Chains A and B, each alone.
Chain A
Amino acid sequence: MPVEKVSMHYLVPKHEIVPSEKVDEFLRKFGVERDAMPKILEKDPAAIEIGAKKGDIIKITRASHTAGEAVYFRAVI
């Protein structure tokens, strides 16, 4: 059965776009440019679903063995 939304699957963690006004703050906090960050394709099903565009930063919140819940950031390319 085709899945309409990948986010409905229990293995797909929560993806959300970092609001544009917070992006600069985020980049400054980690002292990185987008090209030094982990990447995600614009055509990634999870990115399509939340409507992320090239240059956006996606915040991924997922379950973690060690920390319980961990956040991760990917730059959309």
Chain B
Amino acid sequence: MIKNIMIVGVGGQGSLLASKILGKAAMDAGYDVKVSEVHGMSQRGGSVVTYVRYGDEAVYSPVIGAGEADVILSFELLESARWLPCLKIGGTVVTSLQEINPMPVIVGAAEYPGELVEKMQALAVDIRAYDVQSIARESGNERASNVALMGLAADVLGFEEDVLRAAVASCVPAKALEVNMKAYDAARAMIG
């Protein structure tokens, strides 16, 4: 069985670190794993997607296509809607409620669509939306939002609890470790 996880957001939100954590967790759990990252121009405030694929058989492709993702982790609400077509029927979206206006919205050429969570729920999508920034902020730093999202998705990512937590601890820079672990644990506690 191969598990397909997509991490989506806006360039600069910390998706590279999130994918490193999941890749490390998968390797430490003894799985074969591929992680595909985005570098360069599209990182500059653009829509960014990272793929993590792991399983107990050889993983070949580093990317995930339409209808193939078991889980979409999203740092930004509009991005969860943009990448929804990649979700497998029966898959799960775990998203931050943060909204970042893209340039077409800022210049008035488009509107940020409203009630996205409700609309996705109406399509029978298992979507779990949280105020991730607040969880991170209350733990000491909003920049720990990416790690908080890991905690909120801990039950659907398919790792043993201690494996995921250890991967977070080993990937986060030492000086930010305390805040990030606090954010992870607070988020993890929220989903029971």
State whether these chains interact. Answer: no
Q: Hey, which bits of chain A sit against chain B, CB under 8 A?
A: none
